[in-house]
Amino acid sequence: MLKVIRGFFYTILLGVLSFSCYKLYKEQAQLKEHLNCVQMQRYEALPAEKIVERVVTDSSKSWAVVQSKIKDSVVQLFVQVAQIDILQPYKAPNQGMAFGSGFFINADGDIITNAHVVNESKAIWIQIPSLGKTMIDVEVVGVSPERDLALLRLKEDGKKTVLNELGQIPFLDIGNSDSVHRADDVLAVGYPLGQQSLKSTSGVISGREHIDGHYLIQMSAPINPGSSGGPVLNLSGEVVGIASSGIVGGGAQNVGYIIPINELRLVLDDLRTTRLLRKPFLGVLFNNGSEALTEYLGNPEPGGCYVVDIFEGSPLHKAGIKCGDMIYEIDGLQLDLYGEMNVAWCEDKISIMDYVSRLKLGQALKIVVYRKGQRVNLDIKFDLAEETPVRAKFPGYESLNYSVIAGMVIQPLNLNIVGALINNVNSLVKYAEFKNQLKPALVVTHVLQNSQAQRSRTIAPGAILAEINGKEVTTLEELENAIAAGKNSKYLTMETSDKIFVAFPMSKVLDDEPRLSVDNKYQVSKNIKLLLNEKFDKEIKA
């Protein structure tokens, strides 16, 4: 009986072992099959890796070909700068040197760079790599500061030098920035940090961005001081952008912004004929729409952006647009509630302002608005609007007018002055808004030492004038007339916009004037001279 049981046990054990071996064999076979699959997938991936390597290699070769052709087309700029004191414009400017990059765009010797590179320039020279340290004179033809573009040109002597040495003026072909897309390869070329050897940095297009009124292209190639104004090229060696600015610090890495080359195409002809080219604007303020606002106004869905205010003399004002209108279309392109639209040349939505910045002066424009449920079609000729009284000024291209009375330096308010004083004068913050830039104002920008204004201890830089001698003043002409009207008064009175009132003895104001003008080297205004002459005549007769 024991033998039978033992035999039965061995039989079961053998069966279990056989099954286990079979199961192990199957698992090994499955594992082998799986491993074969992995190996096959890996083997099939190898050619793709090789393709990637080949593409990178081809890109490098392409850049080598491009760089061999562009060497003398990209120049370094040396700019003698005379920086004006915006608060005391009568003072001698501070002298200095600035550096930048630029590039030839034709065989005539025209050069493109950034406006900020040649801002407040007194003289400009360039260096061309093949000509070594030879300095060649160039001149400013036209600037568009709001687009940060400048057109320069070789002076005749400089042009002869280049032609004698090189036989021709090498230049770059202008491409099409509308054809640029995210992840496209680009090459930034220039002279970073003022170094005198040409540098190239490759990168890719990151996307497009609207920054401070500028529609820019972002790329991964960094832009350092000195690189501004240099070309950004595609693989065909065409210029698709102009290096403009970079971001330093704040955790940002490999962030550079370029001006789309099509923006230059838009204004190049105007730059040839206009020394200071302003950027046109529609001249309206609008806020975001909403479904509720659209329904409230009785307008059809989906709605548009809502017009809040209009600048008198602007293109839309001339066309008849009114506050309360809702803008639905511009040139057949549908606007959404936020004033944005889709266009063929951008992967993202753009704002109405970005669209307008691409319009040529004199171009016809069709706009559809709804006014309390009624569709209104507007035909507009897009042209320069009247300039806003409070705006950015560009010393070197336009004058800075001022008047000095009782030791107060008084100027028409502009955005440069706002920027210089805003940290100390909080009341000027409001002028950063467009709606507050539509009316002129006079501001005290400086108070001279040992003057009646300083002795009063009531007037400080940043004070906005409201009245002189009881008369409202918003311009220098009104100021001069108000001073002249009070010539028989014993006092010069002044009131500011925040109700500060002060009276200066007119005799002491006039007594101080010759000394102050000599010590501070400013020009005495016309009516103050007349008052001084009258005072002098009276003293002689007495």
**Which comes out higher in pLDDT, residue 47 or 212?**
212
Rounded CA separation 340/305 (Å): 9
**Beta-carbon contacts of residue 287 (< 8 Å; ≥ 6 apart):** 305, 306, 308
Is the pLDDT confidence value at 38 over 80?
no
- Mean of the per-residue pLDDT values for the chain? 85
Rounded CA separation 486/492 (Å): 7
Contact (Cβ atoms closer than 8 angstroms) between residue 461 and residue 445: yes
Is the pLDDT confidence value at 77 over 90?
yes
Angle CA 72–76–82, to nearest 5 = 150
Q: Which sequence spans correspond to the domains of the chain?
A: 70-278, 284-381, 403-541
**Which comes out higher in pLDDT, residue 50 or 261?**
261
Q: How far is CA 195 from the centre of its chain?
A: 25
DSSP 188-221: EEE-GGG-SS-EEEEEEEEEEEEETTEEEEEESS
Provide Rg for the chain, Cα atoms.
35
Is the pLDDT confidence value at 68 over 90?
no
**pLDDT of 276-327, one tens digit each?**
998 877 788 889 999 999 999 999 999 999 999 888 878 888 888 999 999 9
**pLDDT of 364-390, one tens digit each?**
889 999 999 999 999 888 877 778 899
Token output for 74: 């990209």
Contact (Cβ atoms closer than 8 angstroms) between residue 343 and residue 350: yes
Q: How many other C-beta atoms lie within 10 A of the C-beta of residue 62?
A: 16
Contact (Cβ atoms closer than 8 angstroms) between residue 307 and residue 319: no
**Beta-carbon contacts of residue 470 (< 8 Å; ≥ 6 apart):** 493
Is the pLDDT confidence value at 161 over 80?
yes
Backbone angles phi, psi at 449, to 5 degrees: -65, 145
Rounded CA separation 289/293 (Å): 6
> What is the value of pTM for the model shown?
0.81
Residue 149 in 3-state DSSP? strand
Contact (Cβ atoms closer than 8 angstroms) between residue 217 and residue 181: no
Which single residue is written with the structure tokens 């101080």? 512
Contact (Cβ atoms closer than 8 angstroms) between residue 237 and residue 70: yes
Q: Is 70 left (phi over 0), alpha (psi -120 to 50) or beta?
A: alpha
Rounded CA separation 343/416 (Å): 35
Top-ranked range on mean pLDDT: pick from 58-72, 350-364, 389-403: 389-403
Exposure string of 473-510, with b = 16+ CB inside 10 Å and e = fewer, is: bbebebbbbbbeebeeeeebbbbbeeeeebebebeebb
Average pLDDT over residues 65-92: 92
pLDDT of residue 2: 42
Is the pLDDT confidence value at 20 over 60?
no
pLDDT of residue 443: 98
Rounded CA separation 527/476 (Å): 11
Contact (Cβ atoms closer than 8 angstroms) between residue 224 and residue 193: yes
Contact (Cβ atoms closer than 8 angstroms) between residue 83 and residue 94: yes
Average pLDDT over residues 88-116: 95
Which single residue is written with the structure tokens 């070329």? 189
**pLDDT of 520-538, one tens digit each?**
999 988 878 887 777 665 6
Share of the chain above pLDDT 90, in %: 61
**pLDDT of 457-481, one tens digit each?**
999 999 999 999 999 999 999 999 9
Q: What is the CATH number of domain 403-541?
A: 3.20.190.20
Residue 172 carries which side chain, given as an amino acid letter? L
pLDDT of residue 535: 66
Share of the chain above pLDDT 70, in %: 86
Fold of the 70-278 domain? Thrombin, subunit H (2.40.10)
Contact (Cβ atoms closer than 8 angstroms) between residue 467 and residue 495: yes
CATH class of the domain comprising 284-381: mainly beta
Is the pLDDT confidence value at 49 over 90?
no
Q: Is 428 left (phi over 0), alpha (psi -120 to 50) or beta?
A: alpha
